A = this chain, B = another copy of it.
Amino acid sequence: MNAPTQIAHLVPELNLRAVPQALLDALKARFGANCSTALVVREQHGRDESSFQAPPPAAVVFAESTADVSDAVKLAAAHDVPVIPFGVGSSLEGHLLAVQGGISIDVSRMNKVLSINAEDLTVTVQPGVTRKQLNEEVKSTGLFFPIDPGADASIGGMSATRASGTNAVRYGTMRENVLGLEVVTASGEVIRTGTRAKKSSAGYDLTRLMVGSEGTLGVITEVTVRLYPLPEAISAAICSFPSIEAAVRTTIQVIQMGIPVARVELIDHNTVRMVNAYAKLNLREEPLLLMEFHGSPTGVKEQAETVQEIATDFGGNAFEWASTPEERTRLWTARHNAYFAGVQSRPGCRAISTDTCVPISRLADCLLDSIAEADASGIPYFLVGHVGDGNFHFGYLIDPNSVQERETAERLNHQLVARALSMEGTCTGEHGVGLHKMDFLITETGTGAVDMMRTIKRALDPKNIMNPGKIFAL
């Protein structure tokens, strides 16, 4: 989900560790102008798109190579000082905050596409390459990288949070699409995981252990991901429905029938109104599904017809088609701007975002009960969802100066997560745990599994210097 800066209304538990001058001197000596202690630079690297606030890191190293990252980690390790990898800063969960002090390692200058293997449908990139840049650079090969979280996130950051977004229903998430990694470990050693082969049974799946580890096990310095042939045909459609339930039931049936829809996004009627106002559009102010179909011309036609039939059964109407690239861009821009539209709908407000994901059969119940609760609370909200995956986001639009509204939004989020977990779902479909969901994680997976995560963390990072204080308390 795309999101600009939210209110800094939550202060995480701080446990600041000392950053000795000797380390700063050593970093300056090694990195020169690529190490900054300027307050403005540190502050920029000490926040993200979450609601959290903490003192900034003591220094920022702008890494230009794996060797830079390795040396920075080694120096930090020698002084027991935390390191926090930084891509473009689009985390929504406080991943980038220096809650235990330390230094930020900014990898945004490591932004080279290292090798495009078009014949194998793979590409290897440095972690600072953003998803839009990647798609630009591979365009001439007729391939594309489908994972689209909305924000123009870095591939390194997307790997670290196991990101996904609107195309995941067909193409999977970073979990399915990262083939291999280069990682700088807590001791500064450089390791490689995975190969470019499509499958492997060669030992522990370190690639997938690193994907979603949120910087707590190492710094990702190279990523090999899968690419896909650009579909021969693409069409997109908007369909409005008499109710959220009708839109969701349509989605559920589409998924259960195995129709390989590429995108199916829900926007509720309130959010349509906000989007219309923000982007000067005239979408019907009813719950909408935005869909996209990829395949051969015949295949796309067939998928679209089947979906249209299902939608009609549930009272859906007015399928509007967007077949040109321009129309499609307009459609998906509207979707990606839902967050901004929501925030702008209530001047001065801030958004608190949720990220639950449930098995598709429970999606209607989970959504409808949560909508009823949100409506009863009186807090305005926007609501969008990657509903084909059972994943949706409320954005509670609160007055940042109202303690009561903030508490109400947190209560709504707790109730929503509790509901999703009771339905065998997860507290986070794609944003990660970070600072905000550490308690939810324990409820979701149990102390046994979280203890296993802690044991792995302690073993691989005995000094607890890799982005400490995230995912779980140690």
Min CB–CB distance A303 → chain B (angstroms): 9
Min CB–CB distance A437 → chain B (angstroms): 7
Q: A119-B360, A203-B433, A204-B209 are in contact. List 13 more A-B contacts (CB 8 A).
A: A120-B360, A162-B200, A162-B205, A191-B452, A192-B448, A195-B425, A197-B390, A197-B391, A201-B430, A202-B433, A202-B437, A205-B208, A228-B258
Report Cα–Cα, A432/B432, bound state, in Å.
30
- Please name the residue on chain B nearest to A224 by beta carbon: B424
Selected from B119, B164, B205, the residue in CB contact (under 8 A) with A212 is B205
- Please name the residue on chain B nearest to A437 by beta carbon: B202
Q: Given the complex, which residues of B lie within 8 Å of A319, measured CB to CB?
A: none
- Does B191 lie within 8 Å of A429, measured CB to CB? no
A322 interface residue (CB < 8 Å to B): no
A463 interface residue (CB < 8 Å to B): no
**A 197-231 to B, binary, CB cutoff 8 A, 1 in contact else 0:** 11111111110110111000100000000001101
- Does B211 lie within 8 Å of A199, measured CB to CB? no
Q: Given the complex, which residues of B lie within 8 Å of A471, measured CB to CB?
A: 203-204
Oligomeric state, in copies: 2
A-B contact pairs, 25 of them (CB 8 A): A120-B360, A168-B199, A173-B199, A185-B448, A189-B448, A191-B448, A192-B448, A193-B449, A197-B391, A198-B360, A198-B389, A199-B389, A200-B429, A201-B432, A203-B433, A204-B217, A204-B453, A206-B449, A206-B452, A209-B209, A229-B256, A295-B299, A299-B299, A455-B459, A456-B459
- Whether A209 contacts B205 in the complex (CB less than 8 A), given A117-B359, A197-B426, A361-B119, comes out as yes
Min CB–CB distance A253 → chain B (angstroms): 10
Selected from B191, B202, B433, B453, the residue in CB contact (under 8 A) with A206 is B453
Q: Given the complex, which residues of B lie within 8 Å of A455, measured CB to CB?
A: 459-460
Selected from B200, B203, B206, B213, the residue in CB contact (under 8 A) with A357 is B200
A140 interface residue (CB < 8 Å to B): no
**A 448-471 to B, binary, CB cutoff 8 A, 1 in contact else 0:** 111011011011100000000001
- Does A202 lie within 8 Å of B441, measured CB to CB? yes
- Whether A176 contacts B185 in the complex (CB less than 8 A), given A458-B459, A472-B203, comes out as no
**A 396-431 to B, binary, CB cutoff 8 A, 1 in contact else 0:** 000000000000000000000000100011111111
- Does A425 lie within 8 Å of B191, measured CB to CB? no
A121 interface residue (CB < 8 Å to B): yes
- Does A201 lie within 8 Å of B360, measured CB to CB? no
Report Cα–Cα, A200/B391, bound state, in Å.
9
